[in-house]
């Protein structure tokens, strides 16, 4: 096989990968890349229907991505209880994924847990469970549903919501239960605690 045929196979792999993405944003980016490759492949083999169809798919993905990044999302935090039926449903439905991020966390064993649902344009996109002692808030779970993982929810929660300052919190603690969670915390502005491996701190002072 020549390099053009290999290029076509690679384009097929990228498109197939796009369909495995839980995040809408990642799906769009992978699909855009695969379609662009397929469009180029179509031109290389003089198959105009393949080239033009995939060029249209590229433009459609660009249009939707532009809308996603430019859309003024409205976030809200709604306080709830861990025993709420919806919370129990989400905890059970996403349990395998939750345990991948928070393998050792058992919020049901915490006295007086603070629980809030994050709404994005009136749709639930995740939840946070924690506990507060004086001016320190410990985040036990900060979970975002897979389709909405573009970091906007985290930015809202830690930098825009005013949730912690309204409670008089000056220090937020979190424990990284996995490498993915560690990378997320650092992107949100948390810094590792040299005295306690795995623990991260976010200062509101």
Q: Quote the pLDDT of residue 2.
A: 82
The pLDDT score that the predictor gives to residue 205 is 44
Average pLDDT over residues 160-176: 90
Helix intervals (H) in the chain: 3-18, 24-44, 48-70, 85-93, 95-101, 152-155, 163-166, 179-187
pLDDT at 20 > cutoff 90? no
Residue 105: pLDDT band with limits 50, 70, 90:
confident
pTM for this one?
0.68
Residue with tokens 């064993």: 109
Residue 188 has which token pair? 């949100």
Q: How far apart are CA 141 and CA 153, in angstroms?
A: 14
Tell me the average pLDDT across 47-55.
Answer: 92
Please report, for residues 25, 67, 193, the alpha-carbon distance to residue 62 in angstroms, rounded to integers and kept in the order given.
Answer: 11, 9, 41
The answer on pLDDT for 93 being more than 90 is yes
What DSSP string runs through 132-180? EETTEEEEEEEEE-GGG-SSHHHHIIIIIS-HHHHTT--EEEEE--SHH
Q: Tell me if residue 22 falls in helix, strand or coil.
A: coil
Q: What angle do CA 133, 83, 174 make, to 5 degrees?
A: 35
What integer best gives the mean pLDDT of the chain? 88
Q: Does domain 75-203 have CATH number 3.40.630.30?
A: yes
Span 182-197, mean pLDDT?
A: 81
Backbone angles phi, psi at 159, to 5 degrees: -120, -20
Residue 119: what pLDDT?
Answer: 95
pLDDT score for 194: 67
Q: Each residue of 57-82: pLDDT tens digit?
A: 999 999 988 887 787 788 999 999 99
199 pLDDT tier (thresholds 50, 70, 90)? confident
Query: What confidence category does residue 33 fall into, taking pLDDT thresholds of 50, 70 and 90?
Result: very high
pLDDT reading at 130 higher than 80: yes
């Amino acid at each position: 096989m020549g390099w053009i045929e290999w290029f076509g196979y690679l384009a097929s792999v990228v498109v197939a990968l796009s369909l495995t993405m839980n995040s809408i944003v990642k799906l769009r980016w992978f699909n855009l890349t695969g379609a662009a490759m397929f469009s180029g492949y179509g031109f290389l083999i003089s198959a105009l229907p393949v080239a033009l169809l995939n060029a249209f798919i590229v433009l459609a993905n660009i249009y939707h991505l532009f809308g996603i990044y430019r859309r003024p999302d409205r976030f809200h935090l709604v306080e709830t209880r861990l025993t709420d039926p919806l919370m129990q449903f989400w905890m059970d439905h996403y349990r395998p994924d939750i345990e991948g991020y928070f393998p050792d966390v058992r919020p049901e064993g915490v006295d007086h847990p603070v629980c809030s649902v994050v709404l994005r344009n009136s749709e639930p996109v995740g939840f946070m469970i924690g506990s507060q002692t004086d001016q320190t808030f410990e985040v036990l779970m900060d979970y975002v549903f897979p389709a909405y993982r573009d970091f906007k929810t985290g930015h809202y929660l830690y930098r825009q919501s005013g949730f912690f300052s309204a409670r008089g919190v000056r220090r937020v603690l979190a424990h990284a239960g996995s490498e993915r969670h560690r990378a997320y915390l650092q992107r949100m502005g948390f810094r590792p605690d040299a005295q306690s491996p795995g623990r991260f701190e976010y200062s509101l002072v």
